[in-house]
Structure 1
Amino acid sequence: MSFISHPVLNIIVVGFHHKKGCQVEHCYPELVAGRPSELPPAWRHLPALALPDGSHNYLSDTIFFTLPGLTEPAHTVYGISCFRQIPVEQVVQKTEDMTRSSVQKSVCVICRSPLFGRLAVKMELVVRAWFLQGDFSQTKLLEDAYNHLNSCPVQIDQTLEGLSVQKLVDSWRHKALLLFKLLLLRRKVLVYGAQAGSLSAALLTLVSLLPQCLEYGLSRSANVVLTRPLSPISSALPEEKNQHNVDSGVIIQNELFVNGSGQADELSPKETGNLLEEKDRVSHQSLEESAIVDVVDRQDSSAGREKCYSVGEKYKTQKSVLESQQSPTMARDMSVDGLHTLTGQIDQTECGFPFPLFEDGYLCLPYLSLQYLDLLSDPAVEGFVVGASNVLFKQKRQLFDILVELNEMRIETCDMVLRRQLTLSTEDLRFADHVVRHGPTQGDTWIRDQFASYLIYLLRTSLLPEGSREIDSFNAQFMAAFKCTRAYQQWLKSTNNGDIESFMNLAPIHPFSGQLSVADMKLKFAHTMSTTEGGRKVTAAVASTGRAVATTSRAVGGAISQARGALSGWWSALTTPTAPTNASESSSTGDEKLASDAEDVVEQLDDDNRKEQAENPDPPDKSIEENKSNFSKISVI
């Protein structure tokens, strides 16, 4: 078990001045000799991150962000900002600049490792005690906290503390897999939420689903050489060096990455943005969701199946896909520990993890202030996953490919190709349903193990020759786009085209492959009703009918109430996916009738989708910036 010694680099106090805005009031240890209230050029805009947009609407919050290192700009350092505000009457030692009714300050911890959740809990207690003093000129408490945090070595696996993927899956349900696959495509993703604290935590929680990414894969997630500077400071990048320890005592004049500062955008105090604690609201939401063009599900056939081979010169014969599917270890109704058992013998480091995603101009910024707007359009930025709480970001749709709305639990894009790439196959839905059903009882570690196993099987299947039918289980369009990314090419290079003995022993198929059943039809139907425009209309119609029947029943009596109960029971049976059944159960008369009804509904939805496509053909494959006129047609995943 590896440990992190001396994890904290600096503790910085940021206050809000009624004339000067956000400014540094104290820094320990000093970054600029003899000037404890100044920052080096590379961190000159840190105050805008410490006191984010709309922070005055909350009494307290904790924000996570990233910055480029000082002694080595190719290395990323990590910030935890604990914000708090109190009435000015509670301040014992007032100063002349306290002219407003409340005092807003933030204490930032800059550390060399992403110990977001672990340090946040400790710093929230320290900041609360510091505010209770009522005298902000006394900083000894903060200096003692700095020494205490550095006196205790921290284990690397403690970086995952405080980031609950269980809440993420509970909120997004099957769409959690869609977000996971979206990260792998290295597209320009904007995650929007009203509150900066819950927003940054949700983004980092999503990233933590990638095996070892949060612990080791963010070392270059905030670094890019800009083609045009965002400030007069030069953006030249020194020669890259192999350095694991960052010393905060050396100051450079090169500003590789600029963090903005300025006026905060006001948000309504009613917008809490605490989305990780919300439950699934699919049956009650009135969101205008449009359909992702679904790939027609197919039944697996045993005839004409090719044998599985690896990429490169070392072709190794594998057992047939039909034989693999019939194996009890590859059953579609996977046991709780079945999936991880199949991949537990694989060394993740040897397998090429962390996956080289956040490198070469692809950024991961848990929180972004408004002054970063120009950064997102810089040609040197190939892609990004960023969090923003300022509504002005949403109005710059030409800057991003896809928008993830945390408050409204939806995903928007006007890229028709990307929509098809993110379509979940039947096998994907089985995996997502497996995680959703067992996740609440198994916990965060189990959920992360499931996604790690999924990624291992995806990478193993990607090594098959082009055109192999096994690739379709992961969505062939997604797989083609994924294999074209720079991260995948780098992974091939680092693993010698995936030539790992334990890795190659895996069957190159989807772990949830298998024949279609009634449970699949119900699962597909439920997913369609929650993610398509047609499904939304049907759900709204059923809800409206239920309200009308309830109103009428008061006058007519119990007969209509019974009819309403029968209608609700029938609808719930269709829209609620059940646990998979075995072959004998699926052949019963009642299930055949249910399957026929579900197939008719799904077929009708597919006909509606094809009709809409005929009337509105897909736009040419152009960038979002070239299709500004199509913004009114933005589709929701």
Structure 2
Amino acid sequence: LIFGVCIVGFHHAEGPQVEYWIGPDGDKSDIWPFLPFQSLPDGSHAQEESFSYFTLLYDETQKLAPTSSVGFDPADPHSDVVTLFGMACNRQMKSSELKQRTSDVTRSTVQKSVVVISRKPIFGVIKEKLMVVTRAYFMQGDFNDRDIIKSLYENLAITLKPSTNTKIPKIENRLLSSSLNESDLYIGLSLRDLIYRFQVKALVLFKALLLEKRILFYGTNTEVLCTTQMSLISLIPNLVKNLGDCASPLLNKSESRLYRPTSVKTSDRSSLLQFMGLPLQIFSQGGIFSPYVSLQQSEDLSNSQYYVIGTTNSLFMAQKKQLSDIFVNLNTNRIEIFDSSLATALTLTTADKQWMERIKQSVVSTWNENDPTRDLVYYGSDDYIRGQFEDYLLGLLASVKYDSFLSKHGNPPPVGLTLKEINGNPIHTFGNSWVAYWKQSHNYRLFDTYTDTELFDIVEPRHV
């Protein structure tokens, strides 16, 4: 599960560079030219400590990285390109506090990152250990002593494996097995913070995600930047668990594993979600997801039809209209939509607003500024919010299928074909123009192809 651990330092003449690497497949310090910039984000020098999350491409067969997000042939039988996930903890200290000062230290401060690269986005599981080790590494005052970094890699490599050892925490014991839980990947995320920041408009971001548009997040706090995006995409059940294609617009391996279920066990949540076409294949083809991207990756963005990305570089903000369809400023919690027809489609319906108002109140009424993410009760908790959005999405999927059914059999259809408990066509409660937009997306086409035409017999087609 752990691909490698490295140290990235800022060199006064050469900029960020990988200084040390440890991993099972030898030294990989030179194969990702953007890794140093992803690990030392723009503006991170203004913070004592910060975290960045990002994605990387790696060819398992060639043991190299593609030259760019489109620098490979996905049909090549001699390559096997996959997505890896990086998490960096960067800190800085005064040069005068170093016990061992080397000749390359010429500035008043020293800035470095300790980076863990994994095969799954287990950021929350890794974060605590990464933070503790990075702080201890700095407290040593001798950056040439890397034993603690080696120990971090060895500890992660051993503990993040399936094992019969009962002393290993269950969460770590699950991570490489087929029983990997969604909840393991949600550690460190906060849906409460997402709702508190954007209130009712959090639903605008959720609905925008399904439309496969260019969504650019900007903020000066790198950790908030990354966790906000992770929290958003986690609202689609099982999506975080299935991000294997998200580092390149060319990757679509997940599609080859899709099939239409012929049966469902409604008492089994995983069976129900699969029957309903979840997770939606948001990043299966044409798109990119990377919570942090550096300025050096601009060309990769131009090669992608859509993306969800984050940046701390103000140059991105200066070009927001060219680089994004939707711009999200986390410093002001403001959402900008630059296309008028898209803005119209993303205008929330009355039913949307009423439902989101209830969720907003559940968070605001239980908010504690001193401990904002703590769940004291179920009402207003992350589990509550996640459950509400899951119900919303299931109702949407059923309503879209019901709308297609009604259209197929005439409007109105013959008596006896409609659902007695449903009054009219519920699709309008989600927004007709938004649904029309969504039907143009790749993830909708896959959903429509690989789900039963009458799945509304299993889940009631209605707004929450």
- Give the structure-2-normalised TM-score: 0.78
Q: 1:344 to 1:77 in 2, by over 3 A?
A: closer
Aligned residue in 1 for 2:281: 356
Match of 1:347, SS state, is: helix
Are 1:347 and 2:300 counterparts?
Answer: no
**Which residue of 3, 9, 13 corresponds with 1:9?**
3
Aligned residue in 1 for 2:39: 50
Match of 1:459, SS state, is: helix
Instruction: Provide the rounded CA distance (Å) in 2 between the counterparts of 1:505 and 1:201.
Output: 34
Deviation at 1:69, TM superposition (A): 2.6
Deviation at 1:115, TM superposition (A): 0.5
Match of 1:349, SS state, is: helix
Are 1:149 and 2:156 counterparts?
Answer: yes
Contact 1:74 1:223 in 2 (8 A): no
Runs of 4+ in 1 over 4 A off after TM superposition: 239-244, 341-346
Instruction: Provide the rounded CA distance (Å) in 2 between the counterparts of 1:163 and 1:98.
Output: 36
Aligned residue in 1 for 2:214: 188
Higher Rg of the two aligned structures: 1
Code of the aligned partner of 2:283: F
Structure 1, gaps ≥5 residues long = 1-6, 226-236, 245-340, 512-637
Aligned residue in 2 for 1:495: 451
Are 1:93 and 2:84 counterparts?
Answer: no
- Residues 147-156 or 358-367, more deviating: 147-156
Deviation at 1:195, TM superposition (A): 2.3
Q: 1:241 to 1:506 in 2, by over 3 A?
A: closer
Aligned residue in 2 for 1:116: 123
Code of the aligned partner of 2:345: Q
Contact 1:462 1:483 in 2 (8 A): no
Aligned residue in 2 for 1:39: 30
Give identity over the alignment, percent: 34
Q: 1:241 to 1:401 in 2, by over 3 A?
A: closer
Aligned residue in 1 for 2:190: 164
Contact 2:39 2:115 in 1 (8 A): yes
Match of 1:180, SS state, is: helix
CA shift digits 1:476-499 (9 cap, x unpaired): 0001111221101111222244x5
Aligned residue in 2 for 1:507: 460
Instruction: Provide the rounded CA distance (Å) in 2 between the counterparts of 1:105 and 1:343.
Output: 47
Alignment length, in residue pairs? 387
Instruction: Provide the rounded CA distance (Å) in 2 between the counterparts of 1:30 and 1:358.
Output: 29
Instruction: Provide the rounded CA distance (Å) in 2 between the counterparts of 1:482 and 1:150.
Output: 41
Instruction: Provide the rounded CA distance (Å) in 1 between the counterparts of 2:267 and 2:352.
Output: 17
Aligned residue in 2 for 1:428: 352
Are 1:105 and 2:112 counterparts?
Answer: yes
Instruction: Provide the rounded CA distance (Å) in 2 between the counterparts of 1:74 and 1:419.
Output: 36
- 1:198-217 to structure 2, matched below 5 A, reads 198-216=224-242
Code of the aligned partner of 1:95: T
Contact 1:190 1:404 in 2 (8 A): yes
Instruction: Provide the rounded CA distance (Å) in 2 between the counterparts of 1:182 and 1:224.
Output: 18
Contact 1:26 1:37 in 2 (8 A): no
Instruction: Provide the rounded CA distance (Å) in 1 between the counterparts of 2:460 and 2:234.
Output: 26
Instruction: Provide the rounded CA distance (Å) in 2 between the counterparts of 1:243 and 1:141.
Output: 42
Instruction: Provide the rounded CA distance (Å) in 1 between the counterparts of 2:37 and 2:431.
Output: 41
Aligned residue in 2 for 1:219: 244
Contact 2:56 2:85 in 1 (8 A): yes
Instruction: Provide the rounded CA distance (Å) in 2 between the counterparts of 1:131 and 1:462.
Output: 55
Q: 1:21 to 1:181 in 2, by over 3 A?
A: same
Aligned residue in 1 for 2:20: 26
Aligned residue in 2 for 1:480: 436
Deviation at 1:345, TM superposition (A): 9.3
Instruction: Provide the rounded CA distance (Å) in 1 between the counterparts of 2:255 and 2:7.
Output: 31
Structure having the higher helix fraction is 1
- Give the structure-1-normalised TM-score: 0.58
Instruction: Provide the rounded CA distance (Å) in 1 between the counterparts of 2:317 and 2:349.
Output: 30
- 1:192-591 to structure 2, matched below 5 A, reads 192-216=218-242, 218-225=243-250, 347-378=272-303, 381-396=304-319, 397-439=321-363, 440=366, 441-442=377-378, 443-463=381-401, 464-465=403-404, 466=407, 469-497=425-453, 499-500=454-455, 504-511=457-464
Structure 2, gaps ≥5 residues long = 62-79, 162-171, 175-179, 258-265, 367-376, 412-423
Instruction: Provide the rounded CA distance (Å) in 2 between the counterparts of 1:371 and 1:243.
Output: 32
CA shift digits 1:137-182 (9 cap, x unpaired): 1111111111111222423331110001111112211111111111
- Residues 342-351 or 361-370, more deviating: 342-351
Instruction: Provide the rounded CA distance (Å) in 2 between the counterparts of 1:197 and 1:138.
Output: 27
Instruction: Provide the rounded CA distance (Å) in 2 between the counterparts of 1:209 and 1:241.
Output: 19
Match of 2:84, SS state, is: strand
Instruction: Provide the rounded CA distance (Å) in 1 between the counterparts of 2:117 and 2:391.
Output: 33
Contact 2:190 2:227 in 1 (8 A): no
Match of 1:174, SS state, is: helix
Deviation at 1:342, TM superposition (A): 11
Code of the aligned partner of 1:488: Y
Instruction: Provide the rounded CA distance (Å) in 2 between the counterparts of 1:118 and 1:27.
Output: 21
Deviation at 1:371, TM superposition (A): 1.3
Contact 1:67 1:76 in 2 (8 A): yes
Report the RMSD for the aligned CA atoms in angstroms: 2.6
Code of the aligned partner of 2:430: F
Match of 2:205, SS state, is: helix
